[in-house]
Amino acid sequence: MGGATAQQQELENIMEKVKDAQRCKQTRRILKSTLKGSKSLVYEIKQYNNDLDQPRDEIKALIKENGAAQDSESPCCNCFSSCSLWFGKCFFHIPFYRIRSVRSERNSYCDAKEMLLNVRDVLELLSRQNIEKRLSGGSIKRRPCGFPEKPGFTVGLDEPLRRLKVEVLMEGVSVIVLTGLGGSGKTTLATMLCFDEQVKGMFADNIFFQTVSKSPNLKSIVQTLFEHCGHRAPKFQTDEEAINRLGNLLRHVGDKGRPILLVLDDVWSGTDSIVEKFKFSTIPNYKIVVTSRFAFRRFHTQFHLKPLGDDDAVSLFHHFTQAKDTHSYKPDENLVHEIVRGCNGSPLALKVIGGSLCHHPYEFWQTMKERLKSNKDLDSHLQNCLDIVEDDKEKECFMDLGLFPEDQRIRVPLLNDMWTELHELDEDGVKAMNIIHSLNSKNLANVIVTRKVATDVEMYYNNHFLMQHDLLRELANHQSNQEWIERRKRLAIDLTRNGKNCPNWLVGQNQPGIVSRMLSFLSVRGTQQQQKQEQVTARIMFVSTDETFTPDWYNMNPDETEVLILNIHSNKYTFPDFIQKMRKLKVLIVTNQGFHPCELNNFEVLGSLPCLKRISLEKVSVPSLCKLRKLRNLSLYMCTTKQAFGSSDIKISDALPNLVELNIDYCMDMVELPSDFCNIMTMKKLSITNCHKLSKLPPEIVMLKNLEVLRLSSCSDLKEMPESVGRLQQIWCLDISECISLTQLPADIGELHSLRKLYMWGCSGLNELPHSVTSFENLKHVIHVICDDEVAALWEHFKEFTSLPNLMIVKVRADINLRWLPGFH
């Protein structure tokens, strides 16, 4: 292992050189010229990288720079699962893209081939000995599988963490139950445990964090664990099969006596039997930590998390009430202590109440103090926070969030679709994002951004998610459920095997399978509800189903419903016929919680809906299109599109004649945009992102005369753009960031007279700019070019010879993380 240590140190030295080189302003062409004679060496690096399960688009780009791309098959990720596999098994990260983009000076970094030789030697040694050590200098740091980001500011958890570690680090197989009141910091403490250096030193990469929730799907949990271990998620027929396969997997993971730590977060009363299923007595040194509001007496080791002490509570409260502007009201310490005492040491109450009081005047603080005196329970405290929210639409949006399942990340574009139609917000999403940011600032919701750039792409929020604490979700549902069920604005129907939210009036006379899963009518009022079911006035309906669902359930008539959200957990789903009676339906959202694309049947029922304007599909196999004449927005996220775009019996332009916005994200079978889309004259926004197989756009794109926004970011196989793009006179935003295979821009790009924003970071394949960009100097408005240092050098070189006074270069750096993967929060 001495040689391994030396090689490890050598790699760290290399990475330091690369990081130093990144700061230089010289061009990378010096490095590229050195690489021309290194074809075989680059191939060796590629092979070792593949042996270590770390294929990356950057390797492909490096090979192309050596003139070897024509002999190589692309190592880029082909699907969502392979991305998860690479991240799951990566134990260090060598920034090849930085090596590829080094701008070194001749005197300091002239011998690039020597650097590559050193990298090759280290990879060879690691491949032989499988040294599982992480490096601290990489641009992406791998964390143990599945758990949330490392907590930021925390107080009062150091001593509980120390005591919890004692239990976890003791030898033997055991289950440790970490219990406490809702909002007491159990998940935060469990996350800190996983990040602790001693714990990581013992369990290394065998740390798994899995959220269970109130209605767990065991097969889905096991599939997530398989992906965390670097395997494709299998399909299981039964729960028993899933558990048996998991046992075999963990035995393999724990071979050679390597300890395993499994954290099961948010286990509810009545679902504790699932913990028993995850116990495998034949696996040595296997620990399970359970977090729950409930103390499960069947497990002997109980660890109770107590409320915060006074000093810690005040510190936490001050952290969340610190206003950035100097004009905010600053309360005296006596008032602070009175409010803090009213929170009873609950971190969640301190966080939410502190956030709600920030920027408010004295009267709000005083009112909160009086309310806390009269209310002692946490639910009442949280209710007080909601009461001081002055904006009615913001309250309505908060209550809408309660419809979504607990512990589920909600994609911000879905909320924008909903709220634009329900609450009459603007089409571009500005007001929706203002509400989201306001809820986040009040700690009533948590915004998660899976990919940050120093400047946001204009109104593009596909990388933004929202989550709520369980207690806040329960508060939202409590607020929504004050009316009789047939008069509610929001209606949640749970038709899963464990469904608990199914109203009585859904019981049909001829569906015995459904009857067995639903409540029976126990009173005359129940019969009256059944007779009056057509009077249900819910504007939003959220329906959860699993593989036990059948489409012949009660034929209700929700004629006031404007938003329908279908939460699916199965491989096949058939749209119920009652959907065609939703004459006011404006928004349809279909979200598949499974690991494999769900097959949709009876899709044609949507063709009869006169008001349907927005459809969002997630992780489904998009069926053949039907005529959707009113549809304006279509969003496809992690879908397969072959059937819809390749073998439909109807022309796309005839099916979607009034489409204004098309969003295609992470659709891995998307190779080419069908040319018939270019016949939709109403199209204003076209976004194809993270589609790594997309290789070209049709030249007919010039027909989209009204196109204003064109996004093609992170399409790593896109080699060229049609020359006709330069004739799209209405485009004001063009995003080609991280299109690493793009070698040149359209020759006439300078003719885009409406262009204001051009996103180009990560376009490492570009060597020069077309001469037509000199035409930009004739424009009266400013053009912002958002890019990295490498692309900025191309523009700066151009500006040395041409006056472009209205061109503003904005240099950015992306912050990449893994939170878009399943199980990452």
The structure tokens listed for 727 are: 């004739």
Whether residue 62 sits in one domain with residue 34: yes
Both 200 and 256 in one domain: the answer is yes
Task: Kindly report which listed range (124-138, 449-463, 570-584, 764-778) carries the lowest average pLDDT score.
Answer: 124-138
3 state SS of 636: strand
Confidence at residue 385, expressed as pLDDT on a 0 to 100 scale:
66
Tell me the two tokens of residue 801.
């010879």
Q: Which of 342, 362, 388 is the last residue of a domain?
A: 388
pLDDT of residue 56: 44
What CATH number is associated with residue 674? 3.80.10.10
What is the predicted pLDDT for the residue at 119? 56
Is the same domain home to 270 and 353? Answer: no
Picking from 514, 555, 562, the residue whose alpha carbon sits closest to that of residue 533 is 555
As a whole number of angstroms, the distance between CA 498 and CA 406 comes to 14
Higher model confidence: residue 299 or residue 678?
A: 678
Is there a single domain that holds both residue 711 and residue 751? Answer: yes
Q: Does the pLDDT at position 63 exceed 60? A: no
pLDDT for res 73: 35
Nearest one of 545, 577, 540 to 400, comparing CA atoms: 540
Name residue 741's amino acid.
Answer: S
Question: Number of folded domains in the chain?
Answer: 4
Tell me whether residue 560 is in a domain: no
What's the pLDDT score for residue 321? 82
Amino acid 612 reads L
At 537 the pLDDT is 78
Q: What average pLDDT does this structure show over 754-761?
A: 92
CB distance 820 to 792 below 8 Å: no
Asked whether 655 and 626 are in contact (CB, 8 A), the reply is yes
178 in a structural domain: yes
Q: Which residue has the higher pLDDT, 665 or 376?
A: 665
Does 87 score more than 70 pLDDT? no
Q: Contact 263/206 with Cβ under 8 angstroms?
A: no
Tell me the mean pLDDT in the region 149-174: 86
Establish if 533 belongs to a structural domain.
Answer: no
* In contact, 790 and 97? CB cutoff 8 Å: no
Q: What is the pLDDT of residue 74?
A: 34
In a domain, 483, yes or no: no
**CATH at residue 362:** 1.10.8.430
Position 92 confidence tier, pLDDT thresholds 50, 70, 90: very low
Final residue in a domain of this structure, among 304, 332, 367:
304
pTM above 0.75, yes or no: no
Residues 85 and 48 in one domain: yes
Query: Quick one: 294 and 216 in the same domain?
Result: yes
- pLDDT level of residue 600 (50, 70, 90 thresholds): very high
Same domain, 358 and 294: no
**φ, ψ dihedrals at 194, nearest 5°:** -70, -25
Are 506 and 554 in contact by the 8 Å Cβ rule? The answer is: yes
Query: Does residue 624 belong to any structural domain of this protein?
Result: no
Residue 167 within a domain: yes
Mean pLDDT of 511-516: 36
pLDDT tens per residue, range 381-391? 677 666 667 67
Residues 343 and 259 in one domain: no
| 22 plus 58 within the same structural domain | yes
pLDDT band at 28 (very low <50, low <70, confident <90, very high): very low
Task: Give the end of a domain, one of 242, 273, 304.
Answer: 304
Q: Indicate whether 690 pLDDT > 70.
A: yes
% of the chain residues with pLDDT over 70? 70
Look at 30 and 714; give whichever has higher pLDDT: 714
Say yes or no to pLDDT of 25 above 50: no
In a domain, 622, yes or no: no
As given in the structure block, the two tokens for residue 474 are 């329960």
**Quick check: 9 and 83 in contact, CB under 8 A?**
no
Are residues 786 and 704 part of one domain?
A: yes
Looking at per-residue pLDDT, the higher value among 408 and 772 belongs to: 772
Higher pLDDT, 360 or 315: 315
Task: Note the pLDDT tens digit of each residue in 412-461.
Answer: 999 999 999 988 887 777 888 888 888 887 778 888 887 665 455 566 78
590 has pLDDT over 90: yes
Residue 793, domain member (yes or no): yes
8 A C-beta contact, residue 626 and residue 654 = no
pLDDT for res 638: 92
pLDDT the model gives residue 592: 92
Cβ neighbours for 111, distance < 8 A, ≥ 6 positions apart: 34
Q: How far is CA 645 from the centre of its chain?
A: 26
Nearest-angstrom CA–CA distance, 290 and 210: 10
Residues 172 and 300 placed together within one structural domain of the fold: yes
pLDDT one-digit tens code per residue, 170-211 = 877 688 999 988 888 899 999 999 999 999 888 888 888 988
Judgement on whether residues 233 and 369 belong to the same structural domain of the protein = no
Is the pLDDT at 116 greater than 80? The verdict is: no
Query: From CA 687, how far away is CA 668, in angstroms rounded?
Result: 14
Mean pLDDT of the chain: 75
Neighbours of 205 (CB within 10 A): 21
Confidence (pLDDT) at 102: 36
pLDDT digits (tens, 9 = 90+) for 607-652: 999 999 999 999 999 998 899 999 999 999 999 998 888 766 789 9
Which residue segment(s) compose the domain that 278 sits in?
A: 158-304
- Which range among 6-15, 227-236, 625-634, 726-735 shows the weakest confidence by mean pLDDT? 6-15
